[in-house]
Chains A and B, each alone.
Chain A
Amino acid sequence: MRRRILIVLAAGLACAIGATTAASAGGPSPGISQGVNGIVSGNERYVAVPAGASTSVEAVTRNGGRILRFMNIKGQWGIPLVDFHGTTEGLLPDGRTLLLAQSVFSGDTLRKNTSFKLVDVKRMKLQRTIRIRGAFAFDAISPDARYLYLVEYVSPEDPGLYRVRAYDLNRSRLLAKIVADRRSWETGMTGSPVSRTWKDGWAYTLYGGNARPFIHALNTRGVEAVCINMPWKSSPKRLFDFRLRSDGDGHVVVRGPNGRSLVVIDRKTFRIVSAVKNP
């Protein structure tokens, strides 16, 4: 059942932050993962490792570190990172299709066209290439693999400014609609993803690096979003050590560096249930 997005008191103009702050200089996307952790599925780990002008996509056993399968793709590709903790995503719900992304930058400037590759990591075969005009980074994918959510960089002068777009994988087209909080006129956002958690088709992302941190709640099934401002006037000092988690009571919880619960949000109403004053 489609979940209704409710208006919440705390959320007004949440994501629309006019001033670009220093942290956004790095842009809203943490980039792509090459080598290192890759992404895990069962007993296998998938990694993308660059060499020369190509990338090796590999399936590695988690027990033993043996390379089971590999394939090469021309160009520099990586597994999308979705937060600055190093969380990777891009594995489709079928558990065998992996989305590979490019860096949004081509040299020092934003790329004019962006491609994504869908790879069958069981057969090590390229399934599909998606090409879109503009500079896009991966954000999320819906549980039914219908919608691919992308972060669109909208200004070459300000790479910290972005908006969320949806790509319909069934129809192979970018939806014209901007995925934004309907309670706000603003569709452009700023900030850097700190931590990501999922629940019931919703991707919750804590954003920081700007004046006021917020949680971007993306309904990946329904192509909708809500922004929830954090109840602090300024950005906490160790915000980038914070983690977003969901608890068993249907809440989304912002936890501090030592696991302390700092903000509790009701997932149905998007209301802040409780918060500490000084995180």
Chain B
Amino acid sequence: MRRRVLTIAAGVLCSLAAAMPAAGDGGPPQGAVQGWDGLANGAVRYVAVPVGDWTSVQVINRSGGRVVQFLGIKGRWGIPLVAVDSPGDALLRDARTLVLAQVSYGRTLRKHSSFVFADMKRMRILRRIQVSGHMTFDAISPDARYMYLTEYVSPQNFTAYRVRAFDLKANRLLPKIVSDRTTWETTMQGWPVSRVNRDGWAYTLYATGGRPFIHALDTRHVAAVCINLPWGSEPRYIYDYRVRFDRDGHLVVRGRHGRALVTVDRGSLRVLSSVRNP
């Protein structure tokens, strides 16, 4: 059953943080990692290692560290990483198709962005997608119909973005901007801190330099809601915060020591409880 995106009192203009911190100094976000931890999936780990102008996509046994399979792909590719605690978003539900995102090291936005779908069992490329603009991977719907992309819109402000949806069946980028219908604004600002997924929704905590918010993305229905967190300014340790679910299925923002700071009802997307001083 399609879940309605509800209007919530706290959500108005949720994502519009005026302040622009200096994180954009190093170039636009890539949203993908090369080397290191990659993406762990059961007994194996997938990593993308840059090798000259190529990328070696590898399947490594987590027990023993053997490189079981590898595939060389021309170009620079990485495994999408939306937030530090959500490296698994780029693996489709079939548990064998991995989305790889283009990585570029320029200081400006690129004109085109590419994605590769790789079959990690047979080690072959299934599909390549190219879209106009500087886009990074955000999420994929459970039925693999829609791939969500973060589109960076300003060469001056690398924190300004909007969410787009790519219809994988129709093979086209939907013209619609995926935004909270309760606001006219479609462009958001912030950095993803933590991500959880459930029932086709991707909940992402964003730091903005001002008021943090949770972006709730209904990946099945190409809709989104922003949930402003009830604090006037950004908590000091927000990058250590994590979004999780509690036993009742509520969305909980936990602090550095696991303390529940905000509890959000997933049905109404309302803030049920929160602490004053996180």
Contacts and interface: CB of A to CB of B under 8 A. Distances in A.
A37 B66 contact: yes
A36 B70 CA distance: 9
A52 B52 contact: yes
Contact of B60 (A44, A50, A55, A60): A60
Nearest to B73: A51
Interface string B62-84: 11111111101110000000000
A67 B74 contact: no
Interface in A72-126: 72, 74
A65 interface: yes
Interface residues on A, range: 20 to 34
Contacts of A182: none
A263 interface: no
B65 A54 contact: no
Given A49-B58, A66-B37, A54 B51 contact: yes
Contact of B56 (A44, A51, A53, A74): A51
Given A55-B51, A70-B49, A64 B56 contact: no
A45 interface: yes
Nearest to A54: B52
Interface residues on B, range: 20 to 34
Which of A47, A60, A61, A62: most chain B CB closer than 10 A? A60
Given A49-B56, A65-B40, 15 more contacts: A35-B67, A35-B69, A36-B66, A49-B58, A51-B55, A52-B51, A55-B51, A63-B63, A63-B65, A64-B65, A65-B60, A67-B38, A67-B47, A72-B50, A72-B52
Interface of A: 35-38, 44-45, 47, 49-56, 58, 60-67, 70, 72, 74
8 contacts: A45-B66, A50-B72, A51-B49, A51-B70, A55-B51, A60-B60, A60-B67, A65-B62
